[in-house]
Structure 1
Amino acid sequence: MPTALSRRRSTRHAARLAALALLLGVTQAPLAQTQAASQLADDAALARTVAQRVTGDRSGACLAVAVVRAETVKTAHVCADPTQVSRITGRKAFEIGSVSKTMTAALLATELEAGRLTLDTPLAALLPADTVVPQFQDKPIRLQDVVTHRSGLPALPSRMPHANPFDPYATLDTQALLGSLADVKLTAAPGTEFLYSNFASMVLSWGLAHHTKQAFPQLLQERLLTPLNMADTFVGAPPPGVTSVAGHESTSQSAMPWNFADDMAGVGGVRSTLDDMVRYVRGQLGDGPPELTAALTRTQQPLTTTAPPMGMNWMIAQVGAHTVQAHEGATGGFSSFVGLDRQQGVGVVILSDTSWVNLGGVSPLGLHLLAPDAVALDKPRRVVDTPAEMLESLPGSYVMDGGLIVTIVRQGKQLAIQAANQPAFVLGYDDAGDFYPLGFDARLDPESTNGRQGFVWHQGGAALAVRRVDTPQ
């Protein structure tokens, strides 16, 4: 049309432009309204899917969710109790937990792209010269071993203080972190055995800060957040206008925020909003500055030949016909998920103000949104009455792995659990067939082996087998 108009006389040209402007004024509004209506429909469809999973769930959880593609972003804010949705809308920041590790991997990848480090660089090269770092038969722990969780380092540092189990990392300092390395005796060569290690990830986070001579929050800001316009993502205090969401346990009780020393925050100390995490996923899908895109793409490439397959702090899984890179996060009061399907050009973000660690996490929902043809949508866990047969069969004495004796007793139409020298806790029951203490975050999964009643106790990410030691009445 502009080419045709350019051949008109000037007076007719002006008249046509005026008419065109008038026409656009008439037609663009309906077009914009149509696009807005389409976006609302897409968002509503996503909200319905999330609501099918969470409405009425006993956790009381709220979820902020996004499905990200090159041309579209669908978002939804959904709560188990729909009246609570305001607690997660707006510029609200969530603890993203171990999803922070993918950001730490991105920072490492910028050093790899610049040629200042390689994946074969020993972890010790990032630390002070007098740090004692374990080896196995002269084989050092490499950076690749750390970002694939094959370093051989245990889950947590041996010298980690246990001052507050509700904010477990807050008092861990550099001396205890690096000193704990000297306490480790590796039992296998680094790179050979998978063992998920927050300890190793904290050392890498601290080591990158030491290596670059920048505090971790500043390094994160300069290398990742600013290039991706993630102005509402932070370590420590929130920026102006951003409010930190209050976290909850899966019993709906309030949870303390988790705090980390700045240079160890790469293990799980980043907080972010849904909008910023959408920007992060866009960056992971290739929408960012070329240098950063190269680094982010590098983190997603497979590095291991043994299970589980991993990139740099990305878990890699074949989900039906989909190859997915994903990472889940959890703190005392939050859960998160970021998943990517690069071939389909889609990513998913889930941020929850509730810890789902004892409920199987939010990754099943995330994988369903990424691959609905391969992963079914779970149902909410709703509170129901304890079945009569459970009231009869479960009471008795049990022993946990490690020797702790626990007793289950009947209290009217409910059961209660009590460990030796501890108070009794009433157990609720949900329609997934699990019990849960009303006073703290855990789950009891009944099971029977060879006709003998037992259960699995889920707490803090651990699953302990519990066997009966008395004779049922």
Structure 2
Amino acid sequence: MRYTLAAALAAPALVIATPAAAQDPVGYWEGMLDAGTVQLPIGVNIERAADGTLTGTLDSPAQNSFDIPVGEIVQEGDSLTITVPVIGGRYEAEWDAAQQGWRGFFNQGGQALPLALTPGTRPERSAAAQPALPADWAIPANDAVSEIVGERLAMRPGTGMVVGMLTPDGIRVVSNGPGEGTPYDADTLFEIGSITKVFAALLLADMALDGTVSLDDPVADYLPDGVTMPSRNGQQITLKNLARHDSGLPRLPDNMAAADIRDPYVDYGEAELLEFLSGYELTRDIGSEYAYSNLGFGLLGYALERAGGADFETLLRQRILDPLEMTDTAITLSDEQQARFATGRDEYNRETLAWSMNALSAAGALKSNATDLLKFAHAAMDPQSAIAPAMQLALSDLRDAPGYRSGLGWMVANTPSGMIAMHGGGTGGFRAHVAVQENTGRGVVVLTNSAIEPSTQDIALHLLAGAPLAEAQPVPDAPVEVARDEVTLTTAQLDRVVGTYRFGPGVDLVITREGDQLMAAVTGQAALPIYPRSQTEFFYRAVNAEVAFAEENGEIVGATFTQDGRVSPLTVVE
């Protein structure tokens, strides 16, 4: 789930004064994060508690996200480190005296993006700026929903959207697109990404209810002999920790080396997963902190497979999908289903690949359609349904998470019209959202074949609870692809560029040679192969990136890293 929901429910904050001292991080800082497809204004508010501890929040106004809780803030001399656990982010910077601000990199989701922060004034967000959600909201009529969908898709040729609405009066479906070919309808299949996590959590609950597993079972109990499961301070990670995102595991493993970034999980198998677990050391106490983890849910699915004696999809089919007659929800599609499967489009509106999640299937591998997901939404609210006991267990013990509460899989938020249980999903070419409100008997499903934001979440929450809609912008131009004309170099020529190059504080690019192949690893990420275009120019095949080395008198003195048009200078680390 993106953090935008929390903004809709957050209270206004006080104005904080501008920083008073050069190296003092206390105050409000502003900057612009270059995220490739968009420029995101960022605000960071830092305060100092009576005991001297630094605390803070982060704002992303363009995403209507405010007061995102910051984790640890550490200042050591001219260095500043800020963690943002709920979005898996980390900012590392150095004080820039000339600019009177902090200059560094924001690391999130495997990317290191440059971010400079300078003193600013926190805008006062009044009650008018953050309107309260209505208590007497009703799902709009089909004509109004059709208008919302049409406006969202207007600048996205080739995309479509299907909206399913469930009320006590029955089911309604509104669809639009994709412009050419068969029009989308309630039976069109889409990747639903992380909504898969809700199904995985209900599978866990169902297996716990019949005694196949216990929520408190250590994950280590379900791993092969010889595999070491990370632990901390004598405490073991349990199945429940995985399902509530408080295991202490990172969002993604650092040994994912995708051959093609359009299908990033396909090469990540059981061997890679077990290798990562055996070598990883937890950086925070188990259960102490909510931190969303695709890795954690992928591991949950793997553990349930070993406990249940069947693959994840088979267990889902037996325990969840078949009892609900969800015949169009699957990981592997039949030929007939494949004919109804939408073609995904990336953030630049280009056709892209469907994802194969391999060992991490429980994190996001399912495909489904509005017909099936409306059945699911109804069953999730029906106390007599086949999944009612599992739903009750999944929502029986909620833990605090920033802006909402977390059950087993589900994210839960209170609104004036009633409690909402929900989850979103996103892959390289799809977005999806499902939300249910038991006290009103209403549910909403929104599916689209596009990774362009804003997408489905704001529409789902608007239709169900009256939350504000985001404004769609023109699709950004796709970056120019790097040239990939490979030449052959000698071992000596390759070795000239082997070494460590620094982006900025805490972020390096390490070049190594394995036989005739150069490998490049950004701090905290898996090494990827790079290929020579000349003696000083190397390109990636897995991502749209290249490295150009600078030389003086035959010696390498620096480099420039370019990815999707973003240029970052590199300095040589001696």
The code of the aligned residue for 1:71 comes to D
**Alignment partner of 2:206: what SS?**
helix
Matches within 5 A, 1:9-408: 42-52=141-151, 54-58=152-156, 61-79=159-177, 83-84=179-180, 86-89=182-185, 91-238=187-334, 240-241=336-337, 243-261=340-358, 264-286=360-382, 289-290=385-386, 292-305=387-400, 307=402, 308-356=404-452, 359-372=453-466, 375-382=467-474, 402=507
* Inter-CA distance 246–70: structure 2 relative to 1 (3 Å threshold): same
TM-score (norm 1): 0.68
1:153 and 1:75 map into 2 onto residues whose CA distance is 39
In the TM superposition, what whole-angstrom CA distance separates every residue of 1:57-113 from its partner, at most 9, and x where no partner exists? 34753111111124311111124x7x3483523632111000001000110010121
Work out whether residues 400 and 466 of structure 1, in 8 Å CA contact, stay in contact via their aligned partners in 2.
no
The alignment covers a number of residue pairs equal to 356
**Alignment partner of 2:320: what SS?**
helix
The code of the aligned residue for 2:336 comes to P
**Alignment partner of 2:249: what SS?**
coil
**Alignment partner of 1:324: what SS?**
strand
* Inter-CA distance 175–143: structure 2 relative to 1 (3 Å threshold): same
* Inter-CA distance 260–133: structure 2 relative to 1 (3 Å threshold): same
**Alignment partner of 1:281: what SS?**
helix
Query: Shift of the alpha carbon at 1:270?
Result: 0.6
1:189 and 1:384 map into 2 onto residues whose CA distance is 41
**Alignment partner of 1:227: what SS?**
coil
* Inter-CA distance 128–248: structure 2 relative to 1 (3 Å threshold): same
The code of the aligned residue for 2:302 comes to W
**Alignment partner of 1:233: what SS?**
coil
Query: Shift of the alpha carbon at 1:422?
Result: 9.1
1:92 and 1:60 map into 2 onto residues whose CA distance is 15
The code of the aligned residue for 1:371 comes to A
2:185 and 2:145 map into 1 onto residues whose CA distance is 16
Larger strand proportion, structure 1 or 2?
2
1:306 and 1:196 map into 2 onto residues whose CA distance is 10
Larger helix proportion, structure 1 or 2?
1
1:59 and 1:316 map into 2 onto residues whose CA distance is 34
**Alignment partner of 1:182: what SS?**
helix
Q: Which residue of 1 aligns with 2:26?
A: none
1:266 and 1:348 map into 2 onto residues whose CA distance is 23
2:463 and 2:426 map into 1 onto residues whose CA distance is 19
The code of the aligned residue for 2:286 comes to P
Q: Which residue of 1 aligns with 2:102?
A: none
The code of the aligned residue for 1:91 comes to D
Work out whether residues 213 and 307 of structure 2, in 8 Å CA contact, stay in contact via their aligned partners in 1.
no
Query: Shift of the alpha carbon at 1:293?
Result: 1.4
**Alignment partner of 2:329: what SS?**
coil
In the TM superposition, what whole-angstrom CA distance separates every residue of 1:383-442 from its partner, at most 9, and x where no partner exists? 699xxxxxxxxxxxxx888489xxxxxxxxxxxxxxx9799xxxxxxxxxxxxxxx98xx
Work out whether residues 235 and 269 of structure 1, in 8 Å CA contact, stay in contact via their aligned partners in 2.
yes
Query: Shift of the alpha carbon at 1:268?
Result: 0.6
2:537 and 2:437 map into 1 onto residues whose CA distance is 50
**Alignment partner of 1:254: what SS?**
coil
Work out whether residues 233 and 276 of structure 1, in 8 Å CA contact, stay in contact via their aligned partners in 2.
yes
**Alignment partner of 1:317: what SS?**
strand
Query: Shift of the alpha carbon at 1:141?
Result: 0.6
2:449 and 2:475 map into 1 onto residues whose CA distance is 20
Q: Percent identity?
A: 26
**Alignment partner of 2:445: what SS?**
strand
Work out whether residues 63 and 353 of structure 1, in 8 Å CA contact, stay in contact via their aligned partners in 2.
yes
* Inter-CA distance 183–268: structure 2 relative to 1 (3 Å threshold): same
TM-score (norm 2): 0.57
The code of the aligned residue for 1:366 comes to A
**Alignment partner of 1:68: what SS?**
strand
1:254 and 1:134 map into 2 onto residues whose CA distance is 39
Work out whether residues 448 and 455 of structure 2, in 8 Å CA contact, stay in contact via their aligned partners in 1.
no
2:476 and 2:334 map into 1 onto residues whose CA distance is 40
Runs of at least 5 residues in structure 1 that lack an aligned partner in the other structure: 1-40, 386-398, 405-419, 424-438, 441-458, 469-473
Query: Shift of the alpha carbon at 1:157?
Result: 2.1
1:384 and 1:155 map into 2 onto residues whose CA distance is 27
1:144 and 1:240 map into 2 onto residues whose CA distance is 37
Query: Shift of the alpha carbon at 1:352?
Result: 0.7
* Inter-CA distance 161–67: structure 2 relative to 1 (3 Å threshold): same
1:306 and 1:276 map into 2 onto residues whose CA distance is 29
The code of the aligned residue for 2:171 comes to V
Work out whether residues 231 and 276 of structure 1, in 8 Å CA contact, stay in contact via their aligned partners in 2.
yes
In the TM superposition, what whole-angstrom CA distance separates every residue of 1:211-230 from its partner, at most 9, and x where no partner exists? 10011111111111111111
The code of the aligned residue for 2:270 comes to T
Work out whether residues 99 and 328 of structure 1, in 8 Å CA contact, stay in contact via their aligned partners in 2.
yes
Work out whether residues 59 and 251 of structure 1, in 8 Å CA contact, stay in contact via their aligned partners in 2.
no
Work out whether residues 67 and 348 of structure 1, in 8 Å CA contact, stay in contact via their aligned partners in 2.
yes
**Alignment partner of 2:424: what SS?**
strand
Work out whether residues 91 and 241 of structure 1, in 8 Å CA contact, stay in contact via their aligned partners in 2.
no
